[in-house]
Amino acid sequence: MLAIAAAIICCVTAASPQQSPAFMPPPPGTLVQSQPVALGGETASTQWRATAGKRLVGAAYGNKFYQWYLSIYALRRGAYRLRYQSPGNGGPLARVTQASDGAKMWFPLQELRIVGAAALMQPGVQQLVVQSHEAGADCGAGTVSVFASGPAGSVVPAVAAYNPCELSATIVSGQNSLLLRGPYYAADAPMCCPTKASASAVLRYRNGKWTESPNYYKLFIGKLPPA
């Protein structure tokens, strides 16, 4: 009987699902995406994970308004511990606030998507790629942000691309680059009328520098666009 009981306990223990490490603190709002990323390298002992989430801040006239959050965690001492959060530590997201006249509207209108993780700068070490959009009364602007590891386990922006109205990114596998898509505005083009309604450019890191071809979208090297 003792042998049978021991066998049952062993089987139950083996069948128990392994609990995932907790997020400390938990991501704000409702979790929408969770992305592993090897910021310290694929062979590094520290694991990283990024999350995208949103929290309802108001509703009126059938519309819902959300504050989005980007959170980046490092696995340390058995838990994912927060290393970077936007808003809070910087961009690309601003804080959503109610209209100054008290109207039931909250700005900026936000969207966020984690595009993925890719080794854009050197083999085996990944960067996190996210795209975001914020708007007020007009079409707003789109930003593609690339985050990398920094000194002492920090998270820093490596590069960001910015464009009026819209900008999205796709990771080009095998080429260590990003394909940017959005309207192209020449310097004298009004927001209503882009020079090219549908354009694309390739963003890549070569010989220690970020380059864009063609040069359609504004780049911020080592920083994010101002809020």
Q: What is the mean pLDDT of residues 158-176?
A: 96
pLDDT in tens, 2-42: 454 444 444 444 444 568 899 999 999 999 999 999 999 87
How far is Cα 46 from Cα 115, in angstroms, rounded to an integer? 22
CA distances from 153 to 42, 49, 80, 101, 157 (A): 15, 13, 13, 42, 13
DSSP 69-126: EEEEEEEETTEEEEEEEETTS-SSPPPPEE-TT--S-EESEEEEEEEEEEEEEETTEE
CA distances from 37 to 28, 53, 128, 149, 166 (A): 20, 17, 7, 10, 25
How many angstroms from the chain centroid is the CA of residue 7? 47
pLDDT of residue 24: 97
Predicted confidence (pLDDT) at residue 118 exceeds the cutoff of 70: yes
Residues with Cβ within 8 Å of residue 92, at least 6 apart in sequence: 70, 86, 112, 130, 132, 143, 145, 160, 224, 225
pLDDT of residue 188: 92
pLDDT band at 227 (very low <50, low <70, confident <90, very high): confident
pLDDT of residue 9: 43
H helices of 145-222, in order, are: none
pLDDT of residue 222: 98
Question: Which of 81, 89, 173, 166 lies closest to 131 in space, CA to CA?
Answer: 166
Which stretch of 37-46, 114-123, 194-203 has the lowest confidence by average pLDDT? 37-46
Q: What percent of the chain has pLDDT over 90?
A: 83
Residues with Cβ within 8 Å of residue 130, at least 6 apart in sequence: 50, 52, 70, 92, 112, 113, 114, 115, 144, 145, 147
Residue 87 tokens read as 């808003």
pLDDT of residue 104: 93
Question: Which of 71, 124, 42, 91 lies closest to 222 in space, CA to CA?
Answer: 91
Q: What is the mean pLDDT of residues 149-175?
A: 96
pLDDT of residue 102: 84
pLDDT in tens, 49-83: 999 999 999 999 999 999 999 999 999 999 999 99
pLDDT band at 43 (very low <50, low <70, confident <90, very high): confident
pLDDT of residue 8: 43
- Supply the pTM of this predicted model: 0.90
pLDDT band at 100 (very low <50, low <70, confident <90, very high): confident
